């Protein structure tokens, strides 16, 4: 049997009788120093995981008792997953402590049943960054090269507050509230336990019955009447439905909506959990996108400027929707296609622009396809009868990075 003991953010040592019966005790150096080891027990300081697991395997094979010491709740982004995969869940006796996430929210005086939790420890920080942009309450488990300074640098233009919890449960415990810019300018050392990223205006959401981020929308491709727009200048819902399918927005992604107009595509991507940057060159368009995002209670970062020039200052996206561009369209599509990690979708009313846009996608190494969408909607006629009213045809072109659609997202 392997007993896995979470020592908790409160710093409480595990029950003496648990460790007292062990012949092998495995853990981080600070955990091992916090307990009294039994006479004759072997001690393994966790560094490289594989050798430690091999030693555990030797003891398990001989049915000799093993204790593994871990931080907080070891089943929450912890060592329980690795041990269960190697030895089977039936061999584990897990005794969790208080996780650093629970302790940090407690110190901040906030509930966390509606929080998104992401680990940046040994993982790409961009997933955590995009979750922080898209959601009002995110806890980020940090690691070397992915701490408060790096998170703050990535979020310096976002209206967020970072709560940095360090050395939780010790005499050196610190809980500090800083702006992303302030976080980026400091050396935080190695004692950081967790960082909370908060939109304080929305940190106290409504009462929930399901933990975690709010459920995705029950439907998408919303009616045009759900958005403020100018003179019907909006991506129609039939086009939006296919565009969303090709963009594939999901939590942890960053999506650009270039030539956003009303921001209908941006808002729909945000409703599906992605972080979104909308690029719009007209001042009234910028305000319209912001108003539509607020009306649907989602975060959309709006950048006022003309593509492709303004794109150079943005973080690389996972996917891009291009809904405007005029004569600059080929250059805009080319710039987006060079930067997109997964897909670029282009909507065009002018058929003449299709060849150049397609060439831009292919030139960036994307696999290209497209379709002409021409729909007719039901419309009433006098006398309680119905006709078909044709909408303007739109050519939807998309390019996808080879094999990108099979890649998962690590949260």
Residue 410's pLDDT band (boundaries 50, 70, 90)?
very low
How high does pLDDT run on average in the chain? 92
**Residues above pLDDT 90, as percent of the chain:** 77
Residue 161's pLDDT band (boundaries 50, 70, 90)?
very high
Give yes or no for a contact between 232 and 225, defined as CB atoms under 8 angstroms apart.
Answer: no
Residues 296 and 238 in one domain: yes
Which structural domain range is residue 113 located in?
101-202
Residue 9 is predicted with a pLDDT of: 64
As a whole number, mean pLDDT of residues 152-169 equals: 94
How far is it, in rounded angstroms, from Cα 341 to Cα 108? 36
Domain contains 60: yes
Residues 42 and 70 in one domain: yes
**Residue 128: which CATH number?**
3.30.950.10
> Could you give the C-alpha distances from 12 to 97, 169, 226, in angstroms and in order?
9, 8, 53
Residues 340 and 384 in one domain: yes
Burial class (CB in 10 A: 0-12, 13-18, 19+), 210: exposed
Name the domain count of the chain: 3
Residue 405 is predicted with a pLDDT of: 55
Question: Per-residue pLDDT tens for 388-402?
Answer: 999 999 999 999 999
Residues 89 and 131 in one domain: no
Residue 16's pLDDT band (boundaries 50, 70, 90)?
low
Residue 195 is predicted with a pLDDT of: 97
How far is it, in rounded angstroms, from Cα 333 to Cα 70? 49
On the CB side of 66, CA atoms within 13 Å amount to 24
Q: Is the pLDDT of residue 14 over 70?
A: no
How far is it, in rounded angstroms, from Cα 192 to Cα 195? 8
- Rg of the chain over Cα atoms, rounded to whole angstroms, equals 26
Question: Per-residue pLDDT tens for 179-203?
Answer: 999 999 999 998 898 999 999 999 9
Residue 408's pLDDT band (boundaries 50, 70, 90)?
low
Residue whose tokens read 């086009």: 239
pTM of the model: 0.88
401 token code pair:
């990075």
Question: Per-residue pLDDT tens for 334-357?
Answer: 999 999 999 999 999 998 999 999
Where does 215-306 have alpha helices with state H?
Answer: 237-247, 264-271, 283-295
What b/e sequence results for 360-393 when a residue is b if at least 16 CB atoms lie within 10 Å of its CB, and e otherwise? bbeebebebebeebeeeeeeeeeeeeeeeeeeee
Burial class (CB in 10 A: 0-12, 13-18, 19+), 47: exposed
Question: Per-residue pLDDT tens for 219-271?
Answer: 899 999 999 998 888 999 999 999 999 999 999 999 999 999 999 999 999 99
How far is it, in rounded angstroms, from Cα 161 to Cα 300? 17
**Residue 88: which CATH number?**
3.40.1010.10
Q: Which of 98, 116, 139 is the last residue of a domain?
A: 98
Do β-strands 394-400 and 343-348 pair in parallel, antiparallel, or remain unpaired? antiparallel
Nearest CA-CA partner of 135 in 77, 194, 214: 214
Nearest CA-CA partner of 238 in 271, 265, 277, 269: 265
**Residues above pLDDT 70, as percent of the chain:** 96
Q: What letter does residue 44 receive in the DSSP assignment?
A: E
How far is it, in rounded angstroms, from Cα 155 to Cα 133? 8
Question: Per-residue pLDDT tens for 310-319?
Answer: 999 999 999 9
**What's the angle, vertex CA 192, arms to CA 186 and CA 194, rounded to 5?**
115
Residues 18 and 106 in one domain: no
Q: Is the pLDDT of residue 13 over 70?
A: no
Residue 3 pairs in a beta bridge with 67, 93
Residue 407's pLDDT band (boundaries 50, 70, 90)?
low
Q: Which helix (H) or strand (E) holds 380?
A: strand 376-381
Domain contains 213: no
Residues 45 and 124 in one domain: no
The contacts of residue 219 (CB under 8 Å, 6+ apart) are none
Domain contains 335: yes
Residue 44 pairs in a beta bridge with 26
Residues 312 and 395 in one domain: yes
Residues 83 and 119 in one domain: no
Residue 15 is predicted with a pLDDT of: 56
Q: Which of 48-52, 82-86, 105-109 has the lowest mean pLDDT?
A: 48-52
53 vs 209, residue with greater confidence: 53
Give yes or no for a contact between 375 and 241, defined as CB atoms under 8 angstroms apart.
Answer: no
Residues 69 and 133 in one domain: no
Residues 355 and 230 in one domain: yes
How far is it, in rounded angstroms, from Cα 269 to Cα 248? 8
407 vs 235, residue with greater confidence: 235
Nearest CA-CA partner of 26 in 45, 7, 50: 45
Residue 231 is predicted with a pLDDT of: 82
Q: Is the pLDDT of residue 87 over 80?
A: yes
In three-state secondary structure terms, 309 is helix
Nearest CA-CA partner of 162 in 201, 198, 119, 118: 198
As a whole number, mean pLDDT of residues 77-105 equals: 94
Domain contains 77: yes
As a whole number, mean pLDDT of residues 106-127 equals: 93
């Amino acid at each position: 049997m392997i007993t896995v003991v979470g020592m908790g953010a409160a710093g409480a040592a595990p029950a003496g009788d648990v460790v007292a019966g062990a012949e092998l005790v495995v853990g981080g150096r600070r955990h091992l120093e916090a307990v009294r080891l039994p006479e004759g027990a072997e001690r393994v300081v966790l560094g490289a995981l594989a050798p430690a697991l091999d030693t555990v395997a030797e003891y398990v094979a001989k049915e000799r008792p093993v204790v593994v010491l871990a931080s907080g709740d070891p089943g929450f982004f912890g060592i329980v997953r690795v041990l269960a995969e190697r030895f089977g869940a039936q061999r584990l006796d897990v005794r969790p402590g208080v996780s650093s996430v629970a302790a940090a929210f407690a110190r901040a005086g906030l509930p966390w049943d509606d929080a998104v939790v992401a680990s940046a420890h040994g993982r790409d920080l961009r997933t955590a960054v995009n979750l922080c942009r898209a959601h009002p309450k995110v806890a980020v488990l940090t690691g070397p090269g992915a701490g408060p300074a790096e998170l703050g640098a990535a979020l310096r233009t976002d209206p967020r507050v970072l709560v940095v919890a360090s050395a939780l449960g010790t005499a050196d415990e610190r809980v500090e509230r800083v702006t992303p810019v302030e976080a980026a300018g400091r050396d935080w050392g190695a004692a950081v336990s967790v960082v909370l990223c908060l939109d304080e205006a929305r940190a106290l959401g409504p009462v929930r019955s399901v933990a975690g981020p709010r459920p995705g929308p029950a439907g998408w491709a919303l009616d045009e009447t759900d958005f403020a727009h100018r003179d019907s200048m909006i991506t129609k819902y039939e086009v939006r439905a296919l565009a969303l399918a090709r963009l594939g927005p999901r939590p942890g992604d960053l999506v650009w909506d270039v030539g956003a107009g009303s921001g209908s595509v941006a808002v729909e991507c945000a409703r599906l959990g992605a972080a979104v940057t909308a690029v719009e060159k007209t001042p009234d368009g910028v305000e319209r996108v912001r108003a539509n995002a607020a009306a649907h209670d989602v975060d959309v970062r709006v950048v006022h400027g003309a593509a492709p020039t303004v794109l150079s200052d943005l973080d690389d996206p996972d996917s891009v929707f291009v809904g405007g561009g005029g004569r600059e369209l080929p250059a805009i599509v080319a710039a987006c296609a060079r930067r997109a990690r997964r897909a670029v979708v282009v909507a065009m009313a002018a058929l003449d622009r299709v060849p150049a846009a397609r060439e831009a996608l292919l030139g960036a190494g994307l696999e290209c396809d497209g379709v002409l969408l021409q729909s007719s909607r039901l419309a009433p006629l006098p006398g309680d009868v119905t006709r078909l009213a044709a909408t303007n045809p739109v050519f939807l072109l998309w390019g996808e990075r080879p094999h990108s659609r099979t890649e998962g997202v690590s949260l």
